[in-house]
A and B are shown apart, each in its own frame.
Chain A
Amino acid sequence: MRDLVIWAIALRIALQDGGAMLVSRDEIHSDERGSDEATRAGLLRAKTLDDALDQLGRVSPAGALARSVLATIWSELRAAGLPLPDDMPFRRFSSLQFVADGEGRADTRLSFEIITAEGKLSGGAHIFQATPTTIQANLTGLNLDGRQWRMGSLSLTADHELPKITSPAADRMADLRDIIEGRQ
């Protein structure tokens, strides 16, 4: 009952004020059944605050991190022949997953879709720190305007260091071990 009250109030606010956004994971609020009603009222719907940021044209923390990872190798990707624009797009990433290594560097997996001068370039990428000074990027499923781009994959290395997304783990792990083993 409460979810229906929230839905009715959200629609009323959107109609009164010419638009509104409801951030909710509730199925009643987010599934397709309410889509037409929401559109008519000018109600935008987002399941998470990150979705809401995307809909507002802002960059989510995950998108910003993906962008900072790609920025480290953008020039190398262009030099390898990918028809990428000069400037990196803000919002063309999906299926983002990060894994920190022991030093906190961002091992990154993502899918991308980028509008280029030659058409829409899409694919997946795995970018990680191969050595302390070398980044490895493996791109797969590369398609340009729906057709496979060259061999469909690209691997390259670049002499850079990925951004750090956590603090180094050693001290934190030692603290946790002390607690678990009763030394703290």
Chain B
Amino acid sequence: MNLRMGSQVFLNVQIPLLWGERAIVQDAHDRLSVVDLSGERANVEVLADEPAPGVGFRPRVDGVVILQKGVELYSYNPREKTLSSLSLGLPEVQISATGTRIGSNWFSGNVVEGSGVGVAVSKEGVSLGAPLPAGLARLTLQ
């Protein structure tokens, strides 16, 4: 896919931003979607800034908490475009018009072309232009 997101340009990538095992995609209206790729099939959890159908969540003052079997996975603040891990052990990600903040790192104005993953965020660190990790579901919607 080709996408401009958080001031980065992604050309011919399969996943622009991978947060652990979740793909993050931004649409033309700046709304974020989060797709869990840890299972056999892609499962949309956040759909254009709102909880996706069939996904457990709890609203809170600054957005929503996404739940899985009652466990709080992460929160999403649609106003700040910020994903914060609650039990995933991942650094916070914020997408803005001027850049992408991952933990305390700031990315701005990069072009990533021809990689499996544009920006890969894991518990261990951040990679710009990474291969697609093994074992993830394909980013396709049924």
Q: Hey, which bits of chain A sit against chain B, CB under 8 A? A: 48-50, 53, 60-62, 65, 95-102, 165-167, 169, 172-173, 175-177, 179-182, 184
Which chain A residue shows the least CB distance to B54?
A99
Interface of B is mostly: loop
Interface size class, chain B: 20 to 34
Q: How far is the CA of A48 from the CA of B48 in the complex (A)?
A: 24
Q: A53-B61, A61-B61, A166-B50 are in contact. Are A99 and B56 (CB under 8 A)?
A: yes
Instruction: Contact check, A180 vs B140: say whether CB atoms are below 8 A apart.
Output: yes
Give every chain A residue within 8 A of B27 (Cβ-Cβ). 175-176, 179, 184
Give every chain A residue within 8 A of B52 (Cβ-Cβ). 100, 169
Confirm or deny: B134 has a beta carbon within 8 angstroms of a beta carbon on chain A. Answer: no
Q: A49-B60, A184-B27, A184-B28 are in contact. Are A100 and B53 (CB under 8 A)?
A: yes
Which chain A residue shows the least CB distance to B29?
A175
Instruction: Contact check, A167 vs B28: say whether CB atoms are below 8 A apart.
Output: no
Known interface pairs A65-B59, A173-B44, A176-B27; 13 further A-B residue pairs with C-beta atoms within 8 A, sorted by A's residue number? A49-B62, A53-B61, A98-B59, A99-B56, A100-B55, A165-B59, A166-B51, A169-B52, A172-B31, A180-B140, A181-B1, A184-B27, A184-B28
Q: How far is the CA of A98 from the CA of B57 in the complex (A)?
A: 5
Instruction: Contact check, A180 vs B57: say whether CB atoms are below 8 A apart.
Output: no
Instruction: Contact check, A50 vs B48: say whether CB atoms are below 8 A apart.
Output: no
Give every chain A residue within 8 A of B51 (Cβ-Cβ). 98-100, 165-166
Give every chain A residue within 8 A of B117 (Cβ-Cβ). none
Name A169's contact: one of B53, B57, B62 (CB within 8 Å). Answer: B53
